[in-house]
Amino acid sequence: MLFADSGLSDAQISVLLAVWSLTAVVFEVPSGAVADRFSRRGSLVVSGVLQALGYAAWVVFPSFWGFAAGFVLWGLGGTLQSGAFEALLYDGLAANGDEERYGRLKARVDTIELIAQVPVAVVATALFSLGGYRLAGWISVAMCLASSVIALRFPEPERGSEDDDEPGYLATLMTGLRASVPIKRAVVAVALVYAIDAFEEYFTLLAQDWHVPTVWVPMATIGVPLTGAAGAHLAGRLPLRGWVLFASGVLLVVAAWLAVPFAIILLGLFYGLYRFVLVHVETELQHRIESDARATVTSVAAIGSEFVAFAVYGMWVLGAAFAVGVLVLVIAVVVRRQ
């Protein structure tokens, strides 16, 4: 909405999102190796600072190039978080022999993350009414910095023994890349499914296109993260069966065909089923990783998702939500055969 209201076209917005993805493509795996070689907790701390700088760039320089700089900073921060958080969580559980709890705990984390978007939507509406995009932007900066402070308190289990020689950065990077080969099906599944989440960036634009007034867009889309949270929560309790992802794609295609405010309900159902599948494929990947380069392997899957995300952005330009829905159907068929 900020980009659109600043005069950018749909094509320019897609270019900005592509810049975001390109940043991740370049730095995703190297940043994962940084987390494995040095500190996963430290990576999370720096991640929050970089994302705060990205939001600040949007507020201070509300133009195409300012937004692009912000996306580069946000992308760098995102790569430091991607892989590092999952590795920190999984190894923390494994240190106590509780790695089998990872799936349920990851589902809980995703659920809380999505539910948090509900009060954020309410606050965003109030902030926009009081101070427009600038006030909302500076509050976002403060929240990112607060996340870095919280990350400082995360416990980080030791890896290896005191007698082991610490591998260098390049050795850690190569270990993670080699470890990705025997579990390539799990890596590909995560890459394909996680890439669909790039479509989430367009939800507010969809609401506008479906004739929802701008000031009410945050409230109108408030149910989407709630259904996503429900799907993530159920993923920690129910097994993955059948064509769940394919069904989500069908719902998205129907919603795009209707293109009315009511279709946001179908958009929410799509997102709930999608999140259900995402938790399952991510959990399966973590269970299959056997090396200490856990963050690097996870980053390999993440970089694959960034390549697929380019297809999501391209499909949006070609046919908006309908085209993205078709892409989800294709991904569902491919993942089903993995």
162 within domain boundaries: no
pTM value is: 0.78
Instruction: Find, among 99, 73, 71, the residue nearest to 86 by Cα.
Output: 99
Beta carbons within 8 Å of 60's beta carbon, 6+ residues apart: 66
Residue 108 forms part of a structural domain? yes
Cα 103 to the chain's mean position, in Å?
A: 17
> Three-class SS of residue 199?
helix
Give the torsion through C-alpha atoms of 262, 112, 274, 268, to 10 deg. 0
What integer pLDDT is reported at residue 338 of this predicted model? 62
Structural domain contains residue 161: no
CB contact at 8 A, 34 and 46: no
Do 172 and 36 meet the contact criterion of CB atoms below 8 Å apart? yes
CATH number at residue 271: 1.20.1250.20
Calpha distance 22→225 (Å, rounded): 26
Q: Is residue 163 part of a domain?
A: no
> Residue 93 domain-assigned?
yes
Q: Looking at the domain assignment, is residue 136 inside a domain?
A: yes
pLDDT at position 168: 74
| pLDDT in 10s for each residue of the chain, 338 residues | 788 888 888 788 878 878 887 888 888 888 888 888 888 899 999 999 999 999 999 999 988 999 999 999 999 999 999 889 999 999 888 888 888 899 999 999 999 988 887 787 778 778 888 888 888 889 999 999 999 999 999 888 876 544 455 667 777 778 777 767 778 888 899 999 999 998 988 898 888 888 888 777 877 888 898 999 999 999 988 888 778 999 999 999 999 999 898 899 999 999 999 999 999 999 999 988 887 788 888 888 888 887 888 888 888 888 889 999 999 999 999 988 66
Burial 50-72 (b: 16+ CB within 10 A, else e): bbbbbbbbbbeebebebbbbbbb
Number of domains the chain contains? 1
Domain span including residue 25: 2-154+173-336
Quick one: which of 80, 32, 27 has its CA closest to 306?
A: 27
First vs last C-alpha separation in the chain: 37
pLDDT value of residue 166: 65
Q: What is the pLDDT of residue 161?
A: 47
Domain presence at residue 165:
no
pLDDT at residue 66, as a whole number = 92
pLDDT of 163 reads 47
Domain for residue 319, yes or no?
yes
> In sequence order, what DSSP letters do the residues of 35-50 get, joined into one string?
HHHT-HHHHHHHHHHH
pLDDT at 77: 93
